[in-house]
Amino acid sequence: MKRRGIPIVISAASGTGKTSLCKRLLETLSHTARSISYTTRPPRGEEVHGRDYFFVDGATFDQMVADGEFIEWAEVFGRRYGTSFSAVQDQLDQGVDVLLDIDVQGGMQVRERLEHALLIFLLPPSMDELKRRLINRAEDAPDVIARRLQEAKNEIRASKDYDYLVVNDDFDQAATDLRAIVRTHRLRRNRRDDLVAALTTDD
């Protein structure tokens, strides 16, 4: 019996360091791939279509929603983002764990639709530190930062429905914690019927 992959949802308020932690997790865990989302927002900086996101127009996104192509989709900061059902299923079927870097609205939809999903929420050490990181990132205007901080509180409240909380105070420690969670989840008894079957099947 082939081991099925685990959908791993990682969410956080923006500025928590989610992108870097996800990148580290992918570099240090075998059999793990990142789900590439569809979005209606334009590319930023060095982003590449098909690597960072699939950048699509609103009409294409609408059609994909109508055709039921998304496991989940949500509007985040006025843009829409969605996760392809078939791409994720293909990887899970191959035994690959799939990392979904998505917001809390998406996380809740995944929880309902993929009951074996693992949901991890990353927290900043404090709201002051989050504000400092958003300012240092120098990506957003002051009014946008104020809006992101307000939104961050709503997102952090929604973490009550997640399985694990990881505080990103020290980056290396947070990366180690994340990796430990995934590795432990892989060992859960109800995921390893194959091992027991292999040892107990009569000749």
Report in angstroms the alpha-carbon separations of 72 from 1, 21, 46, 88, 139.
Answer: 28, 22, 26, 11, 27
Q: Say how many C-beta atoms besides its own lie within 10 A of residue 100's C-beta.
A: 23
Residue nearest to ligand 5GP (CB): 106
Residues contacting ligand 5GP: total by CB under 6 A: 14
Convert residues 137-176 into a mask of x (bound to ligand 5GP by CB under 6 A) and - (unbound).
Answer: ----------------------------------------
Least distance (Å) between residue 61 CB and ligand 5GP: 11
CB of 104 to ligand 5GP, least distance (A): 8
Please list, residue by residue across 132-159, b when 16 or more beta carbons sit within 10 angstroms of its beta carbon and e when fewer do: ebbeeeeeeeeeebeebbeebeebbebb
| Per-residue binding letters, 49-88, with ligand 5GP (x by CB under 6 A) | -----------------------x-x-x----xxx-----
The position carrying tokens 């019927």 is: 193
Q: How far is the CB of 70 from ligand 5GP (least distance, A)?
A: 8
Tally: H helices and E strands in the chain: 8, 9
Q: Which two tokens stand for residue 102?
A: 């998505």
Rg (C-alpha) for the chain, rounded Å, is: 18
Shortest reach from residue 112's CB to ligand 5GP, in Å: 13
| Closest CB 132 distance from ligand 5GP, rounded Å | 19
Bridge partner list, 38:
54, 82
Instruction: Tell me: does residue 106 bind ligand 5GP (CB under 6 A).
Output: yes
Q: Tokens for 169?
A: 């105070």
Is residue 15 part of the contact set for ligand 5GP (CB under 6 A)? no
C-alpha to C-alpha distance for 101 and 141, rounded to whole angstroms: 24
Containing 200, the helix (H) or strand (E) segment is: helix 193-200
Name the residue nearer to ligand 5GP (CB basis): 42 or 200: 42
Q: How far is the CB of 202 from ligand 5GP (least distance, A)?
A: 46
Binding site for ligand 5GP (CB under 6 A): 14, 37, 41, 72, 74, 76, 81-83, 101-103, 105-106
